[in-house]
Amino acid sequence: MSTNTERSRGPAIRVRNVEKSYKELHVLKGVDFEVARGSIFALLGSNGAGKTTAIKILSTLLKADGGTASVNGYDVATQAADVRESISLTGQFAAVDEVLTGRENLVLVARLRHLANPGKIADDLLARFSLTEAGGRKAGTYSGGMRRRLDISMSLIGNPPIIFLDEPTTGLDPQARIEVWDAVKELARNGTTVLLTTQYLDEAEQLADRIAILHEGRIIVNGTLAELKALLPPAKVEYVEKQPTLEDVFFAVVGDSAPGTGAGNVGDPAGSPVSSPVSTDK
């Protein structure tokens, strides 16, 4: 579409000096960043840093007190309807209907969006996110990772160019996290711009083309993984690169199994989940 071609010249997301307070709590104190089209951008921050607040402002659910933000070339304050047509938002808590099968969930959303061939759309998405076999089962029987993958695939119906994923793997076990990471990589392969928030360093490391750390109301670092690593003393870089994470150990012990097969049971499940939240406040 010609309008899309016009818009594709600028960044997918541009945030300038955005501020937001909840009464006297000054959460965002002037946040700046840009997200290039077709890239995966991770907004990394500890619990309460303001990640969800930023996502809500960008998805027009919340108004900023100051600054400007545009999404797909549209101003979030003055062109909210255009912004909403350009995005999908997947929150921390899956919007999946448990009584319906995975396929029925997808068909329902496609119907609600008045799209032609909802069945084909559903089948294509099930295949894309390795859910074909599970498609006929009630979503209530799905594992956490399958459910989150279904949620992400539901949010893709209608092909929004930009997708927001707010803490897509929080609360998932290590196996499910890997499944969701694969789903996010799949999004980027298809050219979707992804802005994800996370508390997990390893998640940002795995997925993101660029990483910005939101801390005390501002973006304190913004760069590629290599650029971020270059900021750290060598000993720390060595730790990040070479020391196996608990997740590595977990998968070495349980063996890697295909998503949704039910294989890979852990003999001693007491140790999971095993990710380390970021702590920028040391």
- Considering only residues 12, 33, 39, 53, which one is a binding residue for ligand ADP as defined by CB under 6 A? 53
* Longest pairwise C-alpha distance within the chain: 56
Contacting range for ligand ADP; rule: CB under 6 A; set: 47-55, 97-105, 111-119, 239-247: 47-55
Nearer to ligand ADP, 119 or 171 (CB): 171
- Residues of 215-252 as b/e, b for ≥16 C-beta within 10 angstroms? bebebeebeebeebeeeeeeeeeeeeeeeebebeebbe
201 binds, among ligand ADP, Mg ion, none (CB under 5 to 8 A by kind): none
25 near ligand ADP (CB under 6 A): yes
Helices (H), 69-143: 80-86, 102-112, 118-128
Q: What is the residue type of 253?
A: V
In whole angstroms, the minimum distance from the beta carbon of 177 to Mg ion comes to 17
Contact partner at residue 50 from ligand ADP, Mg ion, none, CB < 5 to 8 Å by partner kind: ligand ADP
User: CA-CA distance, 65 to 28, in Å (whole number)?
Assistant: 9
Answer for which of 13, 15, 18, 27 binds ligand ADP (CB under 6 A) is 27
In angstroms, give the least distance from the CB of 226 to ligand ADP. 25
Residue with smaller CB distance to ligand ADP, 47 or 159? 47
What are the residues binding Mg ion (CB under 5 A)? Answer: 51-52
Residues 6+ apart with CB under 8 A from 173: 144, 145, 272, 273
d(CA 259, CA 280): 33
Residues within the interface to ligand ADP (CB under 6 A): 22, 25, 27, 45, 47-53
